[in-house]
Structure 1
Amino acid sequence: MKLPDAQVAVLETASAQDAQTIDDLADATDHKPETITGAAFDLEEQGLVVVESATDETAELTDEGSQYLDEGLPEVRLYEAALDAGADESPVQMGQAIGQSGLEGQEVDIALSNYARKGYGSIDSGEITADADADPDSDSEASALDALAAGDADVDDDDTLDRLDSRGLVELTERTVRSVRLTDDGVTALMEGVEAAESVGQLTPEMLTSGEWRDVEFSEYNVEADAAEFTGGKEHILRQTANRVKDVLVGMGFEEMQGPHVDADFWINDCLFMPQDHPARTHWDRFAMDQPREIDELPADLVERVEGAHRNGVGPDGDGYHSPWDEDFARALALRGHTTSLSTRYLSGEQIGELEPPQRYFSVEKVYRNDTLDPTHLLEFFQIEGWVMAEDLSVRDLMGTFEEFYAQFGITDLEYKPHYNPYTEPSFELFGTHPETGELIEVGNSGIFREEMLAPLGVEDADVMAWGLSLERLLMLIYGFEDIRDVHGTLCDLELLRETEVMY
């Protein structure tokens, strides 16, 4: 029997008693693993071998896991410090135990969340106790880290590996391992004799020119055989959706705005008629710049008008906030918490010159807020900013714009709820129904800019309706994602991003 060289090598090396892995066969035959894989599948089709598949899970220490291998798990270090402080006899102040442990920052939270779970003691009302009978040397997670570091990748305790994986201390990887075993027909073929047939795998111009192609035997290819998986880079689904949003808004007659990510509080908040003592303007909700601390220049006449609106309101019946207003505070630099800072720059004429109605502008840019991380909030996200300047605008015009925009993405069940903003009146929030959970998700905020905001900017003979929508939440409504942390950020799900098909 004549067979291609790789198939002969597999037949002669494989065993009828013991299955051998593709890697073992590749090492023994000096062929590449992918060549052996293809040959094995070809032989299986002929009934000469059996190819068996199994899933092999391997665990590898992360950088954090290696750190804890050297320093000890945070909960173990806290337990040892508590013992030294005498917490096995009577409760001690938690601060004392933490100080003696040397734990800092996030390690403290990690230690506290695992301390009681592992039976090291209890934590109550700021005091900590230590169980004298606890044995840190038998900590299954610490033992698994030691075993992995020693090269033992086959830790038997799956629950422990899963906990280490959830803590980010190990990275679990699954791969398919294929093994080959000779069948009775394969043994018979070997006994009768097999030899390698000279074959070529590629047709060349020289063969065509000389006519040699008529006399050679070409290798057969199994196009259904598994091939190595290549996951090349591609445009992120969030960027794809952002570009799609831009296309939709340009199609609706809007022009795109551009502007700085770091800007003065003046443009971010003061021009929006946001009082300087508003809770959202504290350091708890914004990312202030340390260097440089303030903007170099602000238009003096605009600063004067904005300050006047804050102090006294606008018009004969206007009434300001009667709260402190400080130009130094207005000059302070911070990462923008919304892209409405771009809107104030454009509406004031400072960015591209004075604008006459009608005008339509938008931006799809990143903003930064000191929020608590959860399935719908990140510290940085993309905001779809937009505004229309025209005469006699109403809430009906604003809602109609949203209906037209979201319909382009198949979203037709918008709901609205009245809301308060310092810079719009009337104002309302937008909600859409999540396609998987059925829950209402807030997707944006909107309204008609107030006179107290527009007049200082020089807009007096027109109305301006505006909005700030979340790109990530639009993504959730389109694709059914339930956690935006899966889409971008340090915890993003790469497989989800690779496998999600773009929807148009």
Structure 2
Amino acid sequence: MRLPRNQLAVLEELSADEPTTIEELAAETGEKPETVTGAAFELEEQGLVDVSEETSVEVELTDEGAEYAEEGLPEVRLYETALDQGADEEPAQMGQVVGASGLEGPEVDIALSNYARKGYGDIGGGEITADPDADPGEDEEAVALASLAAGEAVADEDVLDQLERRDLVERHERTVRSVTLTDEGVTALMSGIEAAGETGQLTPEMLATGEWRDAEFAEYNVEADAEEISGGKTHILRQTAERVKDVLVGMGFSEMEGPHADAEFWINDALFMPQDHPARTHWDQFALEKPEEIRDLPDDLVDRVRDAHKHGVGPDGDGYHSPWEEDVARAIDLRGHTTSLSMRYLSGHEVGDLEPPERYFSVEKVYRNDTIDATHLLEFFQIEGWVMAEDLSVRDLMGTFTEFYSQFGITDIQFKPHYNPYTEPSFELFGRHPETGELIEIGNSGIFRPEVLEPLGVECDVMAWGLALERLLMLMYGFEDIRDVHGTLCDLELLRETEVVR
């Protein structure tokens, strides 16, 4: 029997009893792993070897995870500081404990969000307590981080899941191929195998010297799988966003544009959101330190919005009777919704005064401090829209949604009454997931209140909505986790194969 040199080299390193990995064969033969893999599959076709595959999962610390493995988890450091401040005996001032802990920036929020969850104590009213019986040494997440930092395996999948959700570890799947001699392979080796002087590649040098005339070429396997090359393409979310834009333009809408980082005035105050509303805290929004405030706010509009907050509008108006500070309104945040664009346009600040009827939309990214799960991310795309016209009703709003979603083949839309500080009446939209049959929330809508419109100088009705682009995608294609199309856990095959029909 004659075999190409690389196949013979692989065969001679194998055992019939113990599998040998491709990496081990590459080291022993001095060949590249891909050359060894090809030779192994060719030998398998001849029945001389068996090739097996096994998928293993490797877990490694992220930079943040490595930092916490060395310095301690933020919640553990907060607990240890709280003990030093006597919080196990009586409540201590939160600011004092946080300051003494050395925690800074995002670490503070991380510590606070995990402190009570792990039973280290209670937080409330600006004070913190520490449970004297808590034992950081038994913190499963801290122990797992230390083990991974020391190169040891962690078997508890629930703990690894939690660390992965906190972006402290990353999991990587790795396919390990192993090769074993068959009985036929053993017999062939015992009978003796000669190395064939075959070449598998025609080179320019062989053509130039004429060496190719006397060369013995290896057979060309026309059934072998060709290398798969994945070229670039437009992301499925961007494809869907462009389709949404086409549909809305076809329905007579014009597109809005505006800043991602904007004044709280446009994001919340103009929407009649009280300045002490919980959604305006750092728990829900991302604030910017630099620049600290915006400069170009229209003074007359600021005065009218302030008056609406304090006293309401109209003869029966009644404001919030809560503090309203211009410094707060001028602070800059990442927008939590694109309704900030609607306020800029409706006020005339962006494109001048508008006369009804008018229709505008945007499909832009927004940012919220949410807990990441199957339907929530820290940033996502919102389909913003509004119609300015006389005598609008909820029926007009529902009809608009029915027409819009029908363009995507979605007809089972349901509505539920809802409360918003800035619309009345208001309702949420739900669509039925094609795979699970569950109703999932896909948007929020309503008709703007007079407290929103009158300060803007709008004298007719305005109906408005904010819809989730990613959840529209879930209804269209049936995937169940928003992370399938976003971030490091995305489904690459889904992104490569799915095309949005336009």
The aligned counterpart of 2:476 is 478
Q: Which residue of 2 aligns with 1:127?
A: 131
Q: Which residue of 2 aligns with 1:269?
A: 268
SS of the equivalent of 1:167 reads helix
Q: Distance in 2 between matches of 1:80 and 1:421?
A: 41
Paired residues in the alignment total 481
Contact 1:42–1:222 (Cα < 8 Å) also in 2: no
Structure 1 residues 142 and 447, CA gap change in structure 2 (3 angstroms): closer
User: Would you say the 8 A contact 2:356–2:388 is kept in 1?
Assistant: yes
For 1:77-156, list aligned pairs within 5 A.
105=108, 106=110, 127-129=131-133, 155=153
What code does the residue aligned with 1:478 have? M
More displaced stretch, 170-179 vs 200-209? 200-209
Judge which range, 59-68 or 433-442, deviates more.
59-68
Retained in 2: the 8 A contact 1:238–1:472? yes
Matched, 1:51 2:55: no
Matches within 5 A, 1:363-374: 363-371=362-370
Matched, 1:163 2:167: no
RMSD between superposed Cα atoms in Å: 4.7
**Hey, what's the Cα distance between the residues in 2 that align with 1:401 and 1:409?**
13
Which structure has the larger Rg? 1
- Number of the residue aligned with 1:251: 250
What are the equivalent positions in structure 2 for 1:288-307 lying under 5 Å apart?
288-307=287-306
Q: Deviations over 1:162-213 (max 9, x none)?
A: 6345424654444222222333333443434322232333587995998958
* Alpha-carbon distance in 2 for matches of 1:143, 1:408: 52
Q: Which runs of no fewer than 5 residues in structure 2 stay unpaired?
A: 121-128
Distance change in 2, residues 1:281/1:53 (3 Å): closer
What does residue 337 of structure 1 align with?
A: 336
For residues 139 and 171 of structure 2, what CA distance do their matches in structure 1 show? 20
Q: Alpha carbons of 1:127 and 1:61: their partners in 2 closer, same or farther (altered >3 Å)?
A: closer
Q: Which amino acid aligns with 1:31?
A: E
Give the Å deviation of 1:469. Answer: 1.3
Pick closer, same or farther for the CA change 1:379–1:92 going to 2, 3 Å.
same
Which amino acid in the other structure matches residue 129 of structure 1?
Answer: D
Task: Answer whether contact 2:119 2:134 (CA < 8 A) is retained.
Answer: no
Q: Partners in 1 of 2:300 and 2:80 — Cα distance? A: 64
Distance 1:221 1:290, change over 3 A: same
Q: For the residues of structure 2 that align with 1:139 and 1:127, how far apart are their CA atoms?
A: 14
Paired amino acid for 1:472 = E
Alpha-carbon distance in structure 2 between the residues aligned to 1:415 and 1:109? 34
* Corresponding residue number in structure 1 for 2:125: none
Aligned counterpart, 1:397: 396
Partners of 1:94 and 1:127 within 8 A in 2: no
User: Gapped runs of 5+ residues in structure 1?
Assistant: 117-124
Distance 1:213 1:246, change over 3 A: farther
Residue 31 of structure 1: how far off its partner (Å): 1.5
Kindly state the Cα deviation for residue 383 of structure 1 after the two structures are TM-superposed. Answer: 1.7
The answer to whether the 8 Å contact 1:258/1:363 transfers is yes
Q: Map 1:301-450; keep pairs closer than 5 Å.
A: 301-307=300-306, 317=315, 319-321=317-319, 323=321, 327-371=326-370, 375-450=374-449
Q: Deviations over 1:411-441 (max 9, x none)?
A: 2111112334444343322122233443333
CA separation in 2, counterparts of 1:414 and 1:259? 30
**Matched residue type, 1:364:** V
TM normalised by structure 2 equals 0.76
AA at the equivalent of 2:35: T
Q: Structure 1 residues 496, 280: closer, same or farther in 2, change over 3 A?
A: same
Q: Deviations over 1:198-257 (max 9, x none)?
A: 233358799599895897635423644596x88877654434433332232223232211
Q: Contact 2:425–2:447 at 8 Å: present in 1 too?
A: yes
Q: Cα–Cα, structure 1 residues 201 and 94, in superposed 2: closer, same or farther, change >3 Å?
A: farther
TM-score for the superposition, normalised by structure 1: 0.76
Instruction: Quote the offset at 1:363 in angstroms.
Output: 0.7
Distance 1:209 1:94, change over 3 A: farther
CA gap 1:202/1:396 in 2 versus in 1, 3 angstroms: farther
After superposition, the C-alpha distances for 1:60-103 in whole angstroms (9 at most, x for unaligned) are: 4444554455456789989999999999xxx866979x979969
Q: Distance in 1 between matches of 2:59 and 2:79?
A: 27
Using the TM superposition, give the Cα deviation of residue 320 of structure 1 relative to its aligned residue in structure 2, in angstroms.
Answer: 5.0
Q: Deviations over 1:291-314 (max 9, x none)?
A: 433321233444455456556666
SS at match of 1:396: helix
Q: CA deviation at 1:41?
A: 1.1
Larger CA deviation: 342-351 vs 237-246: 237-246
Distance 1:179 1:199 in 2: 26
By how many angstroms is 1:342 displaced? 0.9
C-alpha distance in 2 between matches for 1:307 and 1:171? 48
- Contact 2:239 2:500 (8 Å CA) reproduced: no
Q: What are the equivalent positions in structure 2 for 1:154-233 lying under 5 Å apart? A: 155=153, 158-159=155-156, 163-164=159-160, 166-168=162-164, 170-190=169-189, 191-202=191-202, 217-221=217-221, 223-224=223-224
